[in-house]
Amino acid sequence: MSVTAAAGFAASGVHAGIRREAPDVALVRSLEPAVGGALWTTNRVQAAPVEVSRRHLALAEPQAVVVNAGVANAATGERGVEDAERTAEEAARALGLEAEEVVVLSTGVIGVPLPMDKLLRGVREAAAALSPDGGDAAARAILTTDAGPKQAVAARAGFTVGGMAKGAGMIHPRLATMLAVVTTDYPLEPGEADAFLRPAVDASFNRISVDGECSTNDAVVLLANGASDVERSAETDAAFAAALGEVCGALARAIVEDGEGATVLLEIRVRGAASEEEAVAVAQRIATSPLVKTATFGRDPNWGRVLAAAGSAPWNGGFARVDPSRLTVAYDGVVVFERGVPTGHLPELAGSAVAIELDLGLGDGAASYLASDLTYDYVRLNAEYTT
């Protein structure tokens, strides 16, 4: 169950000394000629590796991904860009590739220059350690505040999709402080990867929130090498899209379950909206409401906070359409508010997951979101992040 589950991929993870003890440099490489694509954070402040990797993908098909943890190489000026380029060049030399064929990702503290002597040594060590069995090591080497590695695999008739991700805090749509590398031996043509990747990301990584914070470094990278020799058809393309969505969905859920300080997974489902876009807006507003999240931490089914969030969901220059007289809210299947009237029922929220369901009663729009609660430990961890 790793990023090397698909045929023709190797990976590694090593400790270069960027972090005190944990492994901190990961490398994933296709052993067969690959094509690929990526989606990036939409934050206006973007890290140097995002800038450099965008440029590389415009010039060549990606064959390898190198990731460092501990330092984000964001807000580091021209030096940061040069360091990202040097990282790609070092990986390319070690792997017999062109620098433009290497995607560079970084995660960690913003505003700190990369310790390049350590990183470049780590890149060389990671290249020497590449193995088809190295997926677990790579998944551990990309972590920061994560409790553990996040991996997923989906197999269909004749091909496999595998992936790894990191992320626990600074998580919000349009990507978040998360990195994901997904590989497949399904055959794609140059330029096709993004068309498959975007809908999978929109339904997974762009539907999660831990703290409403959008990061500077986020990326989801897809490499496809065709090593399965599957004969493509409309049916196999649909199966690949489903498998890719399954892997992205599993990784996204793992990120929220591992949210910094999290004790409860919030599963928010909205239906009956006037449009799908408004359903997304309402679900996102509830998922990012500090009042909803803190109430959930206290296992308090305070549905009034859900109503207030739903009625103030930004959309199209105003708020999404909500009519309280048509609105129904349920917690874990227990209806607490039905078409504008409290029911008097209060569910017990004792589990590790809570489902909040809304029927707006206005149309056919529907959307879902995953979020975590907001806890004392989240505040403590982020209050002490650099000190």
Instruction: Let me know whether 154 and 64 are in one domain.
Output: yes
pLDDT exceeds 80 at position 87: yes
Other beta carbons less than 10 A from residue 194's beta carbon:
14
Considering its fold, how many domains does the chain have in total? Answer: 2
| DSSP assigned state of 232 | P
| Same domain flag for 95 and 208 | yes
Given 200, 227, 257, the domain boundary residue is 257
Domain region containing 112? 9-257
Q: Is residue 145 part of a domain?
A: yes
- pLDDT at position 175, please? 45
Model confidence at 216: pLDDT above 80? no
Q: Does residue 197 sit in the same domain as residue 80?
A: yes
How far apart, in whole angstroms, are the C-alpha atoms of residue 137 and residue 122? Answer: 14
* Secondary structure class of 385 (helix, strand, coil): coil
144-184 per-position pLDDT tens digit? 878 899 999 999 999 999 999 997 655 455 544 578 999 99
d(CA 1, CA 47): 30
Same domain, 313 and 186: no
Q: What digits encode the pLDDT tens for the residues 359-383?
A: 999 999 999 999 999 888 888 877 8
pLDDT tens digits along 329-359: 999 999 999 999 999 999 999 889 999 999 9
Q: Provide the token pair at 284.
A: 């996102």
Does 2 fall in a domain? no
pLDDT, tens digit (0-9, with 9 covering 90-100), for 284-323: 999 999 999 999 999 999 999 999 999 999 999 999 999 9
Q: Are residues 168 and 283 in the same domain?
A: no
Is pLDDT above 70 for 386? no
Do 295 and 236 sit in the same domain of this protein?
no
CATH number at residue 317: 3.10.20.340
Integer Cα distance of 140 and 173 in angstroms = 24
**300 and 360 share a domain?**
yes
Please indicate, yes or no, if residue 4 is contained in any of the structural domains. Answer: no
With respect to residue 101, please indicate whether it lies within any of the assigned structural domains.
Answer: yes
Find, among 298, 304, 270, 279, the residue nearest to 373 by Cα.
298
Q: Confirm whether 189 is domain-assigned.
A: yes
Residue 120 belongs to a domain with what CATH number? 3.60.70.12
Higher pLDDT, residue 115 or 170: 115
**Can you give the pTM of this predicted structure?**
0.89
Tell me, what's the pLDDT at 152? 97
Share of the chain above pLDDT 70, in %: 95
Q: Are residues 280 and 191 in the same domain?
A: no
Distance of CA 159 to the CA centre of its chain: 23
Please tell me whether residues 348 and 288 are part of one structural domain. Answer: yes
Position 281, amino acid: A
On whether the CB atoms of residues 275 and 313 are closer than 8 A, the answer is no
Q: Which residues pair with 31 in a beta bridge?
A: none
Mean pLDDT for the chain overall? 92
3-state SS, 109-175, equals: ECCCCCCHHHHHHHHHHHHHCCECCCHHHHHHHCCCCCCCCEEEEEEECCEEEEEEEECCCCCCCCC
Q: Do 47 and 63 belong to one domain? A: yes
Q: Choose the final residue of a domain: 257, 280, 298.
A: 257
Q: Which of 230, 257, 284 is the last residue of a domain?
A: 257
Active site (catalytic) residues: 177
Q: For residue 156, tell me if it sits in a domain.
A: yes
- Same domain? 206 vs 350: no
Same domain, 112 and 207: yes
In 3D space, the residue among 147, 182, 160, 146 whose CA is nearest the CA of residue 3 turns out to be: 182
User: Looking at the domain assignment, is residue 78 inside a domain?
Assistant: yes
